[in-house]
Amino acid sequence: MSQREHAPQSVPVVAVVLAAGFGTRFDPDNPKQLVSVGGKPIVCWSIEAFDSNPRVSDVIVVVNPAVRDAVERLVDRAGYPKVRMIVDGGRERVDSTMAALDALAAAGIPADAKILIHDSVRPFVERESVDGCIDALDEFDAATVALASTDTILLTQDRDGREIVSRVPDRPHTFRAQTPQAFRFATIRRAYERAAVDPSFHPTDDTRVVVDYLPATPVAVVAGSESNLKITTLADMPLAERIAAARLGEPTAAATTAATAVPAVPSDMAKEEARARMHAMLAQAAAQLH
Ligand SMILES: Nc1ccn([C@@H]2O[C@H](COP(=O)(O)OP(=O)(O)OP(=O)(O)O)[C@@H](O)[C@H]2O)c(=O)n1
Ligand SMILES: C[C@](O)(CO)[C@H](O)COP(=O)(O)O
C-alpha cells in the first residue's frame, strides 16, 4: 500500500518521544538529545518524524530538568502543531514511559488508542517503520520495530563470573530491537501496572515489559533499518552526520558514502562484501574522532 493509500485512523495515534535520558555514555555534561546533527537538534529530528506523519494525531515529549527549558524553546520555535504536552520523565527509561502513560491516562486517552513509544536519540526512523507500526496494531496489540540480525546471537549465562554460551538461536529468528515500539493503550498500561509491583523490574525497552508481564500477548516485528541508529556514544556521531547529510540531500562525499552504505544491503550482494563495507565505514567513522 502506498503512503497515500493508508486508511484514515479512527483512534488517536499518539507518539511518545522519550527525551528524559541522562546520556551518561555519551557526555553527561552535554545532553545528547539536544546535540545538533545535520544542523538540527537530535530531539527535533525525532519529533518531526512523527509530527510530519499525517497518520499521527498527537505527540508528547518526555524530558528531564536538565533539558526541559531547551526542549520547550525548540518546540515553541518550531511550532510543531501536534506536540500537546511536555512531561517530566523519571530515573530509568521505564519510569519515563510510565510517566507518559500516566499523563495520557489523565488526559482521558481511549483504551484502543495506538501508542508509539520512541527513543528521541533514534533521529532517523524511517517513515515506513512508523507506518508499519500503525498498521501492525490493526492485527496485534503490540509491535516493535526491529532489524534482522546479520550476526549469530549467543545467549549466555553467568558461571562463576564467566559468561558461558547457553543457547544459539537460529539466526532468522534473531532481531535487534529498535523503536518505535507500538501498543494499544490498554495493553501497555496493563503490562506496566503488573510490572510496577515487581521489585526486579529494570527492562531496557517497552517490548520486554509486554513479553514478560503479558506473555500471552504477541508482539509483531516491523521492519527497521540500519539508519534507525541509536546515538549512544560519541562514536555514533560521524555515522549520524552521514545519515543526516544523506537525508538533507547534501551532495557531499560523506553523504555519498552514507547513501551507499547505510540502507539495507541488496539481496544479491555477497554477504562478505557487505560486511567488509560496513566495517570500513565504521572504521572511518571511528578514525574521524581522533
Ligand atoms: N530515564 C530515562 C532514560 C532514557 N530515556 C530515553 O530513552 C532513550 C534510550 O536511549 P539511551 O541511549 O539509553 O539514552 P540515555 O539513557 O540518555 O543514555 P545512558 O544510558 O548512556 O545514560 C533516549 O531517548 C533517552 O532520552 C528517558 O526518556 N528517560
Ligand atoms: C529501546 C532500545 O532502544 C531498543 O533498542 C534500547 O533497548 C534502549 O536501551 P538502552 O539501555 O537505553 O540503550
Over residues 57-75, the pLDDT tens digits come to: 999 999 999 999 999 999 9
Nearest CA to ligand 1 atom 9: 119
The best mutation among 16, 93, 117 to test binding of ligand 2, ranked by most ligand atoms within 8 Å of the C-beta, falls on 93
- HSE-CB at 24 with a 13 A cutoff on CA atoms is 2
Q: Is 74 exposed, middle or buried (CB count within 10 Å of its CB: 0-12, 13-18, 19+)?
A: buried
Written as one letter, the residue type at 142 is A
Q: Rounded to the nearest whole angstrom, what is the distance from the C-alpha of residue 6 to the centroid of ligand 1?
A: 32
| Among the bound ligands, the one closest to the CA of 121 | 1
The best mutation among 30, 44, 121, 179 to test binding of ligand 1, ranked by most ligand atoms within 8 Å of the C-beta, falls on 121
pLDDT at 9: 85
Q: Rounded to the nearest whole angstrom, what is the distance from the C-alpha of residue 232 to the centroid of ligand 2?
A: 9
* Orientation of helix 271-287 relative to helix 253-261, angle to 10°: 140
- In three-state secondary structure terms, 240 is helix
pLDDT in tens, 226-280: 999 999 999 999 999 999 999 999 865 444 443 333 333 333 333 444 334 433 4
pLDDT at 281: 38
Does residue 4 carry a pLDDT above 80? no
pLDDT at 264: 34
pLDDT at 261: 32
C-beta 33 within 6 A of ligand 1: yes
Nearest atom, ligand 2, residue 205 CA: 1
Q: Name all domains of the chain by residue range, CATH numbers in brackets.
A: 11-147+175-285 (3.90.550.10)
pLDDT in tens, 185-232: 999 999 999 999 988 888 999 999 999 999 999 999 999 999 999 999
Question: Residue 176 — pLDDT band, cuts 50, 70, 90?
Answer: very high
DSSP lists the bridge partners of residue 116 as 15, 182
58, 14 Cβ separation under 8 angstroms = yes
C-beta 230 within 6 A of ligand 2: yes
pLDDT at 122: 98
62, 19 Cβ separation under 8 angstroms = yes
C-alpha cell at 237: 556521531
Q: Rounded to the nearest whole angstrom, what is the distance from the C-alpha of residue 244 to the centroid of ligand 2?
A: 21
| Among the bound ligands, the one closest to the CA of 179 | 2
pLDDT at 269: 37
Grid-cell match 541508529, residue found: 229
Nearest atom, ligand 1, residue 28 CA: 22
Classify each residue of 50-66 as buried b or exposed e, where b means 16 or more C-beta atoms within 10 Å of its C-beta.
Answer: bbebebbbbbbbbbbeb
Q: Rounded to the nearest whole angstrom, what is the distance from the C-alpha of residue 272 to the centroid of ligand 1?
A: 33
ipTM of the complex: 0.97
148, 226 Cβ separation under 8 angstroms = no
pLDDT at 290: 34
Question: Once rounded to an integer, what is the mean pLDDT over residues 143-171?
Answer: 97
C-beta 205 within 6 A of ligand 2: yes
pLDDT at 6: 78
Give the Cα separation of 63 and 189 in Å (integer).
20
Give the Cα separation of 44 and 88 in Å (integer).
17
Helices (H), the chain: 42-51, 68-78, 93-106, 127-136, 185-196, 206-213, 237-247, 253-261, 271-287
pLDDT at 41: 98
